[in-house]
Chains A and B, each alone.
Chain A
Amino acid sequence: MKLQRLSFCAIGVNVEKVRLLDEYLVKGTTLDVGCGNGLYGFPILSRGGSILQVDIADRRDSRAQALPFRVMDAQNLDLPDASYDNVVAFDIMEHLDDDILFLQSVRRICRNRLLLSVPNAEDEQPAKVALTHIHHKDKTHRREYTKESLLVALSRADFHPLMIRPHYNRCLPGFARALAAEGMVPKMAAKFISMQCCLFERLGWFENRCVADWFCVAE
C-alpha cells in the first residue's frame, strides 16, 4: 500500500459531481472506485440499487463507514466480469501508474456506464496572471488530462464517450477576495469588484475558461 499516493484533495463533496451522478447513473449496481472519503456513496445509493466502494486504503469518513467496502488495487480489480451496471471513478485516474490498465480493468467489469472526473492539464487562462490550478501542486498526480488525451485513453480501453464537459473553477472571477485586507470595508470592496466581473461575464465581455476538471460519461 502506497499511502503517499493518497490525495490531499479527498475532502468534502462537490455538488457538480452529485449533479453528474443524478443525471447519468443507470439503475442497478455501482462500483465506486477510489472512493476516498466515501461520501459520494450516499447520492449513488439515493438512485437505488447497491454499491461497493473500493480504494487502496480505507480512509472513509465516519458517516460512510457503514457502506460495503473492499481494499483493492484499482489497476487490478478483483471482481467478476460484467458485474456492475455503473462504475464511478472520481479523481483517481491521475494517481495511477497505468491509467489504460485501469480503464481496461473497468471495461471488463462494467456492464453499462463509466462516470469519470479527471483534473485538467491546461492552465492557459490563469497563467496570464502567473497563476495555475491548485491541483498542479498535488504531487500524488502522475498526469493530468486535456479533453483530447482523455478521449484517447478511453478509446484505448474500448470505451465510447456519451458526454464530456468542463467543470469550471470560479476562483478567477472572484479573485478580488484574495486581495482583500482584513476588515469589513476591504471585504465590501472585493465584493464590489467581483460583482463587476460577474456582470461583465454575463454581458459576454469576460470569459471564464478556467477548466478545473473534465467530467465524462462513457459506455
Chain B
Amino acid sequence: MRLLSLPFFAHALVKDGIIPKIAARIVSPQCQLFEKHGFFENRCVNDWFCVAE
C-alpha cells in the first residue's frame, strides 16, 4: 500500500489563506498528471498487504 500523501506534498508547505491554498491546488494536480503520464512515480510503499493460505 503506497503512501498516497506524497504527490500532495505542496499541502504541507501552504500558509493560511485562500491564495496559498489555491497555489497548493495548482501544484498537486500537476503532480498527479505527471504520475498518470509516468513522469512521476510514487515508490513510497507504506505497508505490505499479504494474504496467505
Question: A: which residues have CB within 8 A of B?
Answer: 125-126, 128-131, 172-173, 175-176, 178-181, 183, 185-186, 189-190, 192-193, 196-197, 200-201, 203-208
Contacts and interface: CB of A to CB of B under 8 A. Distances in A.
Nearest to B28: A193
Given A180-B40, A185-B39, A125 B12 contact: yes
B28 to A, nearest CB: 10
B34 A129 contact: no
A125 B19 CA distance: 19
For the complex of A and B, 3 pairs with smallest distance between CB atoms: A128-B12, A205-B20, A206-B13
B20 A200 contact: yes
B40 A197 contact: no
Contact of A193 (B11, B27, B42): B27
Interface of B: 3, 5-15, 17, 19-20, 23-24, 26-27, 30-31, 34-35, 38-42, 46
Contacts of B17: 205
A153 to B, nearest CB: 29
Given A129-B8, A189-B34, A176 B13 contact: no
B14 A206 contact: yes
A65 to B, nearest CB: 40
Contacts of B26: 196
B15 A179 contact: no
24 contacts: A126-B12, A128-B5, A128-B11, A129-B5, A129-B8, A129-B11, A130-B5, A130-B46, A172-B13, A176-B9, A178-B6, A179-B7, A179-B35, A179-B41, A186-B40, A189-B40, A190-B40, A192-B30, A197-B13, A200-B20, A200-B23, A201-B13, A205-B14, A205-B19
B25 to A, nearest CB: 11
A193 B15 contact: no
A94 B27 CA distance: 37
Contacts of A206: 10, 13-15, 20, 23-24
Given A180-B40, A185-B39, A129 B6 contact: yes
Most buried by A among B6, B8, B11, B46: B6
Given A129-B5, A129-B9, A175-B9, A181 B27 contact: no
A125 B31 CA distance: 19
A197 B23 CA distance: 9
B13 A173 contact: yes
